[in-house]
Copies of this chain bind each other. A is one copy, B any other.
Amino acid sequence: MTTEKHQLNVALVGYGFIGKAHSHAWRTAPAFFDLPLDVHMSVLCNRNSDRAADGARRFGWQEITTDWRELIARDDIDLIDVCTPGGVHPDIAVAALQAGKHVLCEKPLANGLAEARHMAEAASAAQEQGVFSLVGFAYRRVPAVALAKQMIQEGRIGQVRQIRAAYQQDFIVDPEAPLAWRLQKDKAGSGPLGDLGAHLIDLTHYLAGGTITQTCGSLETFIKRRPLPGSGVGLGGVVAGEGFGEVTVDDAAWFLGRLDNDVLASFEVTRFATGRKNALSIEISGSQGALLWNLEDINVLNFYDNTVPAVEAGFRRILATEPQTPYYAAWWPAGHVIGWEHSFTHEIVDLVEAIAQGTPPAPSFADGLAVQRVLDGVERSATTCNGAWVTL
Question: Which A residues fall within an 8 A CB radius of B?
Answer: 1, 17, 21, 23-24, 27-28, 30-32, 53-54, 57-60, 147, 151, 157, 161-162, 164, 166, 168-171, 173-175, 216, 218, 220, 222, 252, 254, 256, 264, 266, 268, 270, 272-279, 283, 285-290, 295-298, 302-304, 306, 309-319, 321-325, 332-342, 385-389
Contacts and interface: CB of A to CB of B under 8 A. Distances in A.
Contacts of A264: 220, 222, 252
A383 to B, nearest CB: 12
A289 B316 contact: no
A272 B287 CA distance: 8
* Number of identical monomers bound together in the oligomeric complex: 4
Nearest to A55: B31
Nearest to A57: B1
B290 A275 contact: yes
25 contacts: A1-B54, A24-B28, A31-B58, A161-B222, A161-B272, A162-B222, A164-B268, A171-B334, A173-B287, A256-B387, A270-B285, A273-B283, A274-B290, A275-B289, A275-B314, A277-B319, A278-B334, A296-B335, A310-B323, A311-B324, A314-B316, A314-B319, A315-B317, A316-B317, A338-B339
A279 B315 CA distance: 13
Contact of A256 (B157, B170, B254, B316): B254
Contact of A317 (B162, B317, B324): B317
Given A164-B273, A173-B285, A296-B335, 19 more contacts: A30-B58, A162-B220, A218-B256, A272-B285, A274-B289, A274-B304, A274-B306, A275-B304, A275-B306, A276-B290, A276-B335, A278-B334, A279-B335, A309-B324, A310-B323, A311-B324, A337-B339, A338-B341, A388-B388
A321 B28 CA distance: 22
A321 B277 contact: yes
A94 to B, nearest CB: 30
A273 B290 CA distance: 8
A355 to B, nearest CB: 20
In this complex, the member of A27, A218, A275, A322 whose beta carbon has the largest number of chain B beta carbons within 10 angstroms is A275
A258 to B, nearest CB: 9
B272 A162 contact: yes
Contacts of A266: 254, 268
A318 B324 contact: no
In this complex, the member of A270, A277, A386 whose beta carbon has the largest number of chain B beta carbons within 10 angstroms is A277
